[in-house]
Amino acid sequence: MIIPVSLEGRAYPIHVVDEGLGGLGAAVAATLPTGPIMVVTNPVVGGLYLDATLRSLAAAGFSPRAFEIPDGERHKSVATWATLVEDLLGAGLRRSTPVVALGGGVTGDIVGFAAASALRGVPLVQVPTTLLSMVDSAVGGKTGVNSSHGKNLVGAFYQPRLVYAAMQTLRTLEPAELRSGLGEVLKHGVLRDEALFALCEQQGERAVALDGAVLGEMVERSCRVKAEVVALDEREDGLRAILNLGHTAGHAVETAAGHGTLRHGECVALGLVAEVRWAAARGDCPPEVVHRVEAAVARLGLTIRTPPLSPQDLLRAAGYDKKAARGMLRTAVVERIGAVRLEAVGLEELPRMLALLP
Ligand code: NAD
Ligand code: GLY
């Protein structure tokens, strides 16, 4: 299955394959000329999938070289990016040399930014190996690293030349990481795809149990939603901000509870419940939407209970002070399953939204 991302002059395919990484080399060779290619991964993913990646690329005529970056969000830093760029340049990187990001969203974001910045841009191939990276971070061209001032504050919009999601790689993922991705899948359903939402609602347990057909359809449909939104508003001048549905309240929980307590997608699911309850309380969507979202969250094995956090801590974590300077909160308002609108609401809505966390 190939899903196109239709960006003028920078269009690219997302391959979603049932198998492992055996077909990667052929897919890359269909898009980029063969020759040297640099594969970057971390020790965890490298231990599982580096050999298969290198073999596939070599069989397709490439001369691959492997590079390692450390695992974990705490290494998504300017220091890791700088070391990687130096390593790639030291190994003879040229403007035409593709760089492959093999791993989850942390790897994809760091390697993507290295590919965007080294030699002012070299071809990037995203090979996402977590559900979250398949349905979200590998698609759409946001790359970057964290700074001491906050998350993702250093980076670039830089689209890959192709994305290759090999569904078999999900079989080695920790269950909590799979759940995290399911939170973003559910978000895409609520945003723009009622059939995807129904799949979560009706087949949630099968996805948790790694049913290939269900997960494959979820990845494909999610990628279509993200690809459509990105094609309409690549640089988030407007519409793309709808992808932040569930993130205002979810991010507040993630920050206030301390990163690592709950996974990102688990917090997004809590945020989705709060934001849908908020929309229903304002009369923007019918109450049954709330019940359906709550039930779908539970069926996907996601938590429906926010850790105990004070309203003050949540408000602070939601960036109330920074938002107060702007005076408004720009948020996606759910109208029904599969339809949202973007609206700037008064900041007094933020504590109301947070109070509706489950
Ligand atoms: P991650 O990259 O840290 O991966 C989670 C863990 O799973 C890591 O330890 C990783 O080594 C391991 N792993 C990866 N693939 C595996 C596999 N197949 N089998 C076993 N273990 C595997 O986390 P993530 O959830 O993929 O990504 C989170 C990051 O993505 C955050 O930094 C977030 O800011 C970023 N993000 C970016 C965008 C974007 O648009 N660029 C969107 C959403 C999230
Ligand atoms: N994850 C939100 C975006 O890519 O815009």
Counting atoms of ligand 2 from 1, which one is nearest the CA of 142?
Answer: 4
Query: Which residue CA neighbors atom 1 of ligand 1 most closely?
Result: 104
Nearest-atom number in ligand 1 for the CA of 144 is 41
Residue of 180, 226, 264, 267 with the most ligand 2 atoms within 8 Å of its CB, for mutation? 226
Kindly identify the ligand whose nearest atom is closest to the C-alpha of 44.
Answer: 1
Residue 43: phi and psi, rounded to 5, are -65, -35
292-305 pLDDT, tens digit each = 999 999 999 999 99
| H/E segment holding residue 137 | none
pLDDT of residue 151: 83
Q: Is the CB of 126 under 6 A from ligand 1?
A: no
User: Model confidence over 17-26: pLDDT tens digits?
Assistant: 999 999 999 9
Residue with CA at minimum distance from ligand 1 atom 5 = 104
Phi (first) and psi of residue 122, to 5 degrees: -125, 160
With bands split at pLDDT 50, 70 and 90, how would you rate the model's confidence at 322? confident
Expressed in angstroms and rounded, the spacing between residue 193 Cα and the centre of ligand 2 is: 17
Those residues whose C-beta lies under 8 Å from the C-beta of residue 358, and which sit 6 or more positions away, are 270, 273, 274, 294, 304, 305, 306
Active site residues: 120, 142, 184, 226, 236, 240, 244, 247, 251, 264
* pLDDT (tens digit per residue) in 217-247: 999 999 999 999 999 999 999 999 999 999 9
Q: Which residues of 126-157 are buried (b: 16+ CB within 10 A; e: fewer)?
A: bbbbbbbbbbbbbbbbbbbbbeeeeeeebbeb
Stretch among 93-102, 183-192, 260-269 having the lowest mean pLDDT: 260-269
The residues spanned by each domain of the chain are: 2-171, 175-354
Q: Please, which residues bridge with residue 145 across strands? A: 154
Q: pLDDT band for position 327 (50/70/90)?
A: confident
Percentage, residues of the chain above pLDDT 90:
91
Annotation: CATH topology of 2-171:
Rossmann fold (3.40.50)
CATH superfamily assigned to domain 175-354: Dehydroquinate synthase-like - alpha domain (1.20.1090.10)
| Phi, psi dihedral angles at 345 (to 5 degrees) | -115, 165
Task: Provide the pLDDT confidence category of residue 328 given band limits of 50, 70 and 90.
Answer: confident
Per-position b or e across 58-68, b if 16+ CB within 10 A of its CB: eebebebbebe
Q: How far is the CA of 92 from the centre of ligand 2 (A)?
A: 32
The pLDDT of residue 28 is: 98
Say how many Å lie between the CA of residue 211 and the centre of ligand 2. 26
pLDDT of residue 119: 98
- Answer for the pair 127, 24: CB distance below 8 angstroms, yes or no: yes
* Ligand closest to the CA atom of residue 245: 2
Predicted confidence at residue 149, as pLDDT, reads: 84
Answer yes or no: is pLDDT of 67 > 80.
yes
Of 345, 279, 269, the C-alpha closest to 302 is 269
pLDDT digits (tens, 9 = 90+) for 118-132: 999 999 999 999 999
Question: Do the domains at 2-171 and 175-354 have one common CATH topology?
Answer: no
**Biggest distance spanned by C-alpha atoms of the chain:** 59
* pLDDT mean over 165-191: 97
Distance from the Cα of residue 152 to its chain's centroid:
13
- Taking the whole predicted model, whether its pTM rises above 0.85 is answered as yes
What is the three-class DSSP state of 341? strand
Asked if residue 240 has its Cβ within 6 Å of ligand 2, the reply is yes
For the chain, give the mean pLDDT. Answer: 95
Burial 207-235 (b: 16+ CB within 10 A, else e): bbeeeeebbbbbbbbbbbbbbebbeeebe
